[in-house]
Copies of this chain bind each other. A is one copy, B any other.
């Protein structure tokens, strides 16, 4: 299945300092979990922050969304599924799902753009990204 090649899964554990006075993970920390998922995806599939950087591009986040279904509490173990969503636009879109014991805890999305060495927005997909897509059989 093609899908599978575009997903990365990591297992994490809630740390004490990530929890708030409600004894649950503070909502903003999910963006850190998404980032860990995205980084794992990048390392696994050869499209990491450092790969982009080596080609002269920064890939800042321009949009992030997180929806919470269930809380995570201290010492919970959970899985972050990071899935690459293919699009023709000069963007990187990742969708996330967090599961705890098989139950859906949260979903999310991040959208990144490409900035060249002058910090100008790339309107077209950079060559290295097109090459990667070809390798992944996405174009």
CB contact list, A84-131 vs B, under 8 A: none
- Alpha-carbon separation in the docked complex, A66 to B64 (Å): 5
Interface centre among A16, A19, A36 (most CB of B within 10 A): A16
Name the one of B39, B63, B64 contacting A16, with C-beta atoms under 8 angstroms: B39
CB contact list, A60-76 vs B, under 8 A: 60-68, 71, 74-75
Q: Are A32 and B50 in contact (CB under 8 A)?
A: no
Contacts of A48 in B (CB 8 A): 75
Q: Are B22 and A20 in contact (CB under 8 A)?
A: no
Q: Are A17 and B28 in contact (CB under 8 A)?
A: yes
Q: Are B24 and A60 in contact (CB under 8 A)?
A: yes
Within the complex, the shortest CB–CB distance from A126 to chain B, in Å, comes to: 17
Contacts of A23 in B (CB 8 A): 21
Q: Which residue on B lies nearest to A75, using beta carbons?
A: B50
- Alpha-carbon separation in the docked complex, A29 to B28 (Å): 8
Q: Are B35 and A16 in contact (CB under 8 A)?
A: yes
